[in-house]
Structures are given as structure tokens and as C-alpha cells.
Amino acid sequence: MATTTVNPAEYQPQLDEKAARIQNIFADFDTPELEVFASPAEHYRMRAEFRVWHEGEDLYYIMFNQETREKYRVDQFPAASRLINDLMPLLVDALKPVKALRHKLFQVDFLSTLSGEILVSLLYHRQLDAEWEKEAKALKQRLNDEGFNLNFIGRARKQKIVLDQEFVIEKLQVNDRVLTYKQVENSFTQPNGEVAQKMLEWAVDCTQESQGDLLELYCGNGNFSLALAQNFERVLATELAKPSVDSAQYNIAVNNIDNVQIIRMSAEDFTDAMEGRREFRRLKDQNIDLQSYNCNTIFVDPPRAGMDEGTCRMVQGYDRIMYISCNPDTLKDNLEILSETHRITRFALFDQFPYTHHMEAGVLLERK
């Protein structure tokens, strides 16, 4: 993991610079006033990964300087959640004297939540055995006795040992509602919990008083689907990654939401299905009749590469388009097509990654 320099005194100036930069990127478009959603200035990342350095009897976390690639010792990491920082020294001190746990350990990954759960993955350059499992269980019990709500995963080449679950349960406050989400290790989740809540509230606000149904592409674990369901008669959502689909089904059930349907399909396949170019057995198996949906709003949150031209053309068929982007450059490219038929009526910057060049943007487009 590379370094992120955290200096709360510099937070607002860096956010102001991002706001100016994103407005400059979209200067050729007729955008409304930019809505800026700030992050906490420290302890904002719910995830962190550290390499582990062995030096005689000592053992400690290291990170790498992005420019020089030089390694340096890390005892605390202000970008990470308080929960991660609380656990970091206790964990490394507990690992040091136990040969079965420290031998050929090369990386530690943390996944924490606003709701107080934390999952730790220990990665090894050796196969794990019964001795490792015994010592890991004992350490887990000891740390949980100290007040943590913690689970362990041990990983080696072609090996994975889970004690006792490979996920955390997050609870996000969205206006006056609390939504529960299963977040699985090594699956995508929003890294900044506080900003994730602001993104959900913004999306809910943008779609108030909506008519008909919502179509969502790239839905992940149902992060937005569940929050937006209250504003639509039904939500039809697609996702390709199986772990994310499984989490989405769990999240629908645990939140008692009955108007969201998840389909495991790529955006490209779904475009073919919607336009009648191909038939898909999985739609028949799930008794999904695409023609029964009255979707005049579409929500997209694509990967960094953005949407391909065919998907953009399909998206143009909807009266309202909500687009969340982790890459303003590909969003700009997609808007060259979408703005042929739609105008931007909401424009937002979400500071998911403080002190870095990364920007998360949101736009609402409505048919001209």
C-alpha cells in the first residue's frame, strides 16, 4: 500500500482545489452549481492494507513512498478508521511471539465498519496448518475479550481459512433510515463510510417524487439499490460479480425490501436483452419479464473505464440518468454522448479519497 499524507490543516484547501479542477474538466458542459460533499479530515478509510516487515525478533507494518518506492515503518495510519488504528498495535504485538502466526506473514488487510465490526486477513508465503488455526483462534478470542468485534481470515497460495466469517455487517444512516449491508472480503465496497452515506442521501434526494421503476447497472452489493427503492415502484438491478450478487440478495432480505430484483448479468448482455437481440435463460429462470418494467430512470455506477458506446446509447433511452463516476475523465467522455439528448440538472463532488488526486463525481441528467 502506498502512502497518503494526512494533515487536517490542509484538508479544506485540497478539497477546494478538487472542486476547481472538476469544474474545469466539465467547463464545456452546461453544469449547475457544484454540490461538494466533504470527508472527515482523518480516520475516513474503512479499509487498509499493510505489508509486514520482519527484522530479527521485531515485526512491524510498512508502506511505500509513491514517488521513491522506499519502504517506511507505520505504527499508526491516520487515514484509516479509528477501529483499524486501535487494533494495529495490539495485533502486531500479539503476532510477534507466536511463530505459527508470524512465520512468513507478508501482509495484513483490515476491513472495518462504522458499526464497529472488523475483519483481518493475514497473508502468508507458506501453507497454513492446524497449528496456525489453533493459534489464530486463540488470538481472535483474546482480542474479542478486549472489546473488539473481530474475525480472521488466513490466506496462502490456493488456501483460505475463515474464522468464523468472511464478511462484516455495516450499518449506514441514510436520512432517518438505517440500512444494513453485508460487505465481503475482497469484494468492492465504498472505502469512505461517511462519504458513502452522503452519496446515498444525495441519490435519494435527486430521485424524490420519481414515477415508475428504476433500472440500475453495476449495482455491486445493492448499495444504492436499497436506498433508492423507497422512491420507485420497483428496482431492477444488474451485477456481474457473483459475491456482490450474493451480498445484494442478503441485503435485500435483511432490510425487508420487497421491490428490488437483482440479475447477474453484464451491462452489455443486459443491453442485448433489453433491445431483444438475445434471449437469456437466467431471465426466464427468475421469471423476469423485462417488458413489464416501466423504467424511465436509470442509475449507473460503472468501473473506472466508464460505459462503452453501446451502453451509453441504451442509457440515452431513459428520461432521467443518474451517473456516479470514480473517473471524471471517462465520465466526460460518456457525457459527450449523453448530452446529445440530456441536460445536466445536478452536479456533485464526493471526496471519497482525501489528499489524493482521485475524485468521485455524481450527475443527474434529464431529457432535453
Active site residue ranges:
326, 360
DSSP code for 62 = E
Cβ neighbourhood burial of 212 (10 Å; 0-12, 13-18, 19+)? middle
SS3 call for 59: strand
Distance of CA 300 to the CA centre of its chain: 14
Amino acid at 158: K
239 annotated binding-site participant: yes
Contact status, residue 10 vs residue 17, Cβ threshold 8 Å: no
CA distance 57 to 173: 44
16 in a known ligand binding site: no
Please check if 67 is assigned to a binding site: no
Residues 6 or more apart whose CB falls under 8 angstroms from that of 228 comprise 203, 204, 207, 214, 216, 235, 299
Question: Is 33 annotated in some ligand binding site?
Answer: no
- Residue written as grid cell 473505464: 305
Q: Cell triple for residue 112?
A: 472495518
- Taking alpha carbons only, the member of 80, 68, 3 closest to residue 39 is 80
* Residue 176 annotated as lining a ligand binding site: no
- Output the CA torsion sign for 198, 199, 204, 206: positive
Binding residues for S-adenosyl-L-methionine: 190, 218, 223, 239, 301
Binding residues: 190, 218, 223, 239, 301
